[in-house]
Structure 1
Amino acid sequence: MTTMRISGISSGLDVDSIVKQLMTAQRVPLDKLNQQKQVLQWQRDNYREINSKLVDFRNNKLMKFNTSVQMNTQSSTVSGDTAALKAEATADANGIEMNIKVLRLAKPATQTSSGATMVNTTLNTRITSSSTLSELNAINTGTSPDSDGNFKITINGNSIKIPATSTISDALTQINKTDAAKVTAKFDEATGKLVISSKEYSTGGKVVLDTTPAASDTFEQLFGSSMTKTDYQTAQVQVNGGSTIDYASNSFKLNGVSLTLLAPTTTSAKVTTTTDSSKAVETIKAFVTAYNDLLSTLTTKNTEERYKDYTPLTDEQKKEMSDSDVENWETKAKSGLLKNDDILKSTISSMRSIITSKLGDLSAAGITTGQYYENGKLYIDEDKLKAALEANPQQVTGIFQGSKGLYSSMSDKVYESIQSLASRAGTSKYSSDVTAAFNSESVMGKSLTDYTKRISDLQDKLDDMETAYYKKFTAMETAMANYSSQSSSLTSMLS
Structure 2
Amino acid sequence: MGVSLPGLASGLDTATLITKLMGIEKIPYNNLQVKKTNIDNNKSVFNNINLKLKTLRDAATNLSDLDSFKVNGGTSSDPSKVAVTVGDNAISGNYTIEVSQLAKPHVIAMNSISVLGSDGKDASFDFETYKDNVIKVNGKEIKFSDLELDGKTTSEALVEIASAINKSDSGVQASVIQTKPGEKSLVLTAKESGEDHEITTDLSNSTLFSVDNNAGQPAQNAELIVNGVKITSSSNTIKAAVPGMTFQLLAEKSTVSVEVKQDVDKITSKIDAFVKAYNEVIDIIKENTKKITNEKDANGEYKNFKTNLQGDSLLRDLQNELYGIVSSVGANGNSDGFKLLSQIGLEIDKGVTSAALMTGKISFDKELFKEKIAEDPVAVEELFRGDNGLGVVAKDRLKDWTSVNGLIQMKMDGYQSQIDFITDQMESMNERLILKEDALNKKFTAMEVALSKLQSQQSWMTTQLNSMIASSKSNS
Query: What TM-score, normalized by structure 1, do the two folds share?
Result: 0.56
| Matching residue of 2:308 | 336
Instruction: Tell me, yes or no, if the aligned pair for 2:8 and 2:451 is still in contact at 8 Å.
Output: yes
Q: Give the letter aligned to residue 35 of structure 1.
A: V
1:387 shift after superposition: 3.3
Larger radius of gyration: 2
Counterpart of 2:456 in 1: which secondary structure? helix
Q: For 1:424-463, what aligned pairs fall within 5 Å after superposition?
A: 457=431, 460-463=434-437
| Matching residue of 2:38 | 39
Counterpart of 1:87 in 2: which secondary structure? strand
Q: Is it true that 1:479 corresponds to 2:428 in the alignment?
A: no
Indicate which of 176, 181, 197 corresponds to 2:191: 197
| Matching residue of 1:296 | 282
Alignment partners' CA distance in 2, 1:115 and 1:472: 110
Q: For 1:97-176, what aligned pairs fall within 5 Å after superposition?
A: 97-105=94-102, 141-142=130-131
Give ranges in structure 2 of 5+ residues lacking alignment.
1-6, 141-145, 149-158, 178-184, 332-338, 470-476
| Matching residue of 1:385 | 369
1:271 shift after superposition: 2.5
| Matching residue of 1:147 | none
Q: Is it true that 1:19 corresponds to 2:3 in the alignment?
A: no
1:358 shift after superposition: 4.7
Q: For 1:300-449, what aligned pairs fall within 5 Å after superposition?
A: 300-301=286-287, 303-305=289-291, 329-330=303-304, 333-337=305-309, 340=312, 355=326, 358-360=329-331, 363=341, 365-370=344-349, 374=358, 376-380=360-364, 382=366, 384-393=368-377, 396=380, 406=391, 417=402
Counterpart of 1:102 in 2: which secondary structure? strand
Change (3 A) 1:111 1:338: farther
Q: Give the letter aligned to residue 386 of structure 1.
A: K
Counterpart of 2:96 in 1: which secondary structure? strand
CA offset digits 1:444-483 (Å, max 9, x no partner)? 9978986886686456435423422331331232232133
Alignment partners' CA distance in 1, 2:245 and 2:26: 74
Change (3 A) 1:85 1:186: same
CA offset digits 1:224-263 (Å, max 9, x no partner)? 789x9x99976432134x2413457523266677342324
| Matching residue of 1:491 | 465
Alignment partners' CA distance in 1, 2:256 and 2:248: 11
Q: Is it true that 1:84 corresponds to 2:68 in the alignment?
A: no
1:390 shift after superposition: 0.8
Alignment partners' CA distance in 2, 1:155 and 1:138: 24
Counterpart of 1:491 in 2: which secondary structure? helix
Instruction: Tell me, yes or no, if the aligned pair for 2:38 and 2:307 is still in contact at 8 Å.
Output: no
Counterpart of 2:93 in 1: which secondary structure? coil
1:72 shift after superposition: 5.0
| Matching residue of 2:252 | 265
Instruction: Tell me, yes or no, if the aligned pair for 1:99 and 1:271 is still in contact at 8 Å.
Output: yes
CA offset digits 1:404-432 (Å, max 9, x no partner)? 98399759969984978899989xxxxxx
Q: Is it true that 1:283 corresponds to 2:269 in the alignment?
A: yes
Alignment partners' CA distance in 2, 1:446 and 1:118: 87
Change (3 A) 1:16 1:273: closer
Give ranges in structure 1 of 5+ residues lacking alignment.
1-7, 127-134, 145-152, 157-161, 215-220, 427-441
Moved more, 471-480 or 388-397: 388-397
1:10 shift after superposition: 1.5
Instruction: Tell me, yes or no, if the aligned pair for 2:107 and 2:190 is still in contact at 8 Å.
Output: yes
Aligned pairs, number = 413
Change (3 A) 1:185 1:393: farther
Counterpart of 1:469 in 2: which secondary structure? helix
Instruction: Tell me, yes or no, if the aligned pair for 2:268 and 2:366 is still in contact at 8 Å.
Output: no
Alignment partners' CA distance in 2, 1:341 and 1:124: 93
| Matching residue of 1:464 | 438
Instruction: Tell me, yes or no, if the aligned pair for 1:305 and 1:339 is still in contact at 8 Å.
Output: no
1:44 shift after superposition: 5.5
1:86 shift after superposition: 0.9
1:336 shift after superposition: 0.7
**C-alpha root-mean-square deviation of aligned residues, in Å?**
6.5
Counterpart of 1:265 in 2: which secondary structure? coil
Change (3 A) 1:210 1:444: farther
Q: Give the letter aligned to residue 308 of structure 2.
A: G
Alignment partners' CA distance in 2, 1:119 and 1:106: 34
